[in-house]
Amino acid sequence: MSTALSPLLAPMLSSAAMRAVCDDMAYLQRMLDFEAALARAEAATGIIPSNAAAPIAAACRAEAFDLAALAEAATKSGNLAIPLVKVLTANVAKSDADAARYVHWGATSQDAIDTATMLTLRAALDALQTDIERAIEGFASLARLHRNTPMVARTWLQHALPMPFGLKLAEYAAALDRSRGRVRRLRQEALALQFGGAAGTLAALGDDGWRVAEKLAQELALPLPDAPWHAHRDRIAEVASVLAIITGTCGKIARDVSLMMQTDVAEAFEPSGEGRGGSSTMPHKRNPVAAATALAAATMAPHLAATIFAAQVGDHERSAGPWHAEWPTLPNLLLVTSGALAAVVDIAEGLEVDAVRMRDNLGATRGLIMAESVTMALAERIGKREAHHLVEAASKQAVALKKDLREVLTETPEITAHLDAGKLADLFEPMAYQGVSQALIDRLLAALDGK
């Protein structure tokens, strides 16, 4: 595991919590935690002498190891566990030569590395869960506040119909809530101890292998799988898929916010602050920096996840190559996912909304946004096809003459014969044409409250 991101870029693209989770020293300590737990489990089951566990565990301190030396040695051994176990054995021997004989007893390199990865994922999922909770609560609160704030609903980037801003916000919360459920499920189902020995049979421990595995799982508080899974990477791939989904959701939210921040739209903005979103040359700029982080993550994550998916295709009982590809890829995926979530939390907890501008933008098309409202009311009198034809013609006339649609409609006898001026006025009230939006907001928020 490595932060893998440049120290200059990591703070911009990832959360501090996830950088701590993916730190090289933290990962090394988790490998050592496996070794210490293995010694305790084997001592408890009588596989190694009872007095061997304490000296081994005492030597399992990451700060006692030279990361650079381990990294260099790994280029010859093919993984970090081999030089790590060699140095650990030597360190144990300094205090207890007999105990040193039992370091890494019956295990293989992949057991230490995969189990450390699972311990990392557990901490990572907890960190992501915290930010997901914050983002959901932030958007849910905004949805309640703006459930009656009218805005333009846009399809294909064009003005479509009116909608309450609260519905858009509630949908953000609901999408994040679905990922909250995915993360919870991963926490329960995708984490598992890796302990299989050289070829996944635990042959070095004879008939006692599974007793050791059971005790080791208890020591590390990891679920015990039905069997070692060295060659089957579906658990890792499932985690990657959820991480990609999370960043995709964050990217969608960020895309909306960046578009709403456009000068020509100016409906909602990331929180402001000294030096935030500025330009090196244009002092007036207010750029969407949090949204940019989430969008960068949403661009990167699918490709990182694809590498994890490809790494599932290994050879026989333990793979050479695909497994190695997971090592830098998974932490990068965790990091950018955390960056996307942190950015969305920032937006959810500090979004600045210009409700007046939202209302003004509803009038940007001179009433065309209410064309469907008029069409459906007219269709009740003369049928949908004829109503659509009349309102379409009036809309084109309004555009050509640069007049309000309502004005053109009041001058069209075929329409005023069925809809008088008062009725037309009602049909041009945006929040009178929102369908079941309020019920949808209630449903979405109720589902959140029930979690």
Among 184, 187, 211, 318, the one annotated catalytic: 318
3-state secondary structure 211-255: HHHHHHHHHHCCCCCCCCCCCCCHHHHHHHHHHHHHHHHHHHHHH
> Would residue 187 show up in a list of annotated catalytic residues for this protein?
no
> Would residue 279 show up in a list of annotated catalytic residues for this protein?
yes
Q: Report phi then psi at 64, rounded to 5.
A: -85, 0
Element (H, E) at 268: strand 268-269
Element (H, E) at 154: strand 150-155
Half-sphere exposure of 288 (CA within 13 A, CB side): 25
Q: What angle do CA 206, 207, 211 make, to 5 degrees?
A: 115
Distance between CA atoms of 364 and 123, rounded to whole angstroms? 49
Q: Report phi then psi at 435, rounded to 5.
A: 55, -130
Among 95, 144, 279, 381, the one annotated catalytic: 279
Q: Based on the number of CB atoms within 10 Å of its own CB, is 57 exposed (0-12), middle (13-18) or buried (19 or more)?
A: buried
Residue 151 pairs in a beta bridge with 163
Q: At what angle do helices 24-44 and 81-95 cross, to 10 degrees?
A: 60
Classify each residue of 17-47 as buried b or exposed e, where b means 16 or more C-beta atoms within 10 Å of its C-beta: bbbebbbbebbbbbbbbbbbbbbbbbbbbeb
Distance between CA atoms of 280 and 286, rounded to whole angstroms? 12
Distance between CA atoms of 149 and 171, rounded to whole angstroms? 15
Closest CA to 53 of 95, 99, 94, 98: 99
Distance between CA atoms of 355 and 71, rounded to whole angstroms? 56
Distance between CA atoms of 209 and 221, rounded to whole angstroms? 18
Q: Residues with catalytic annotation? A: 279, 318
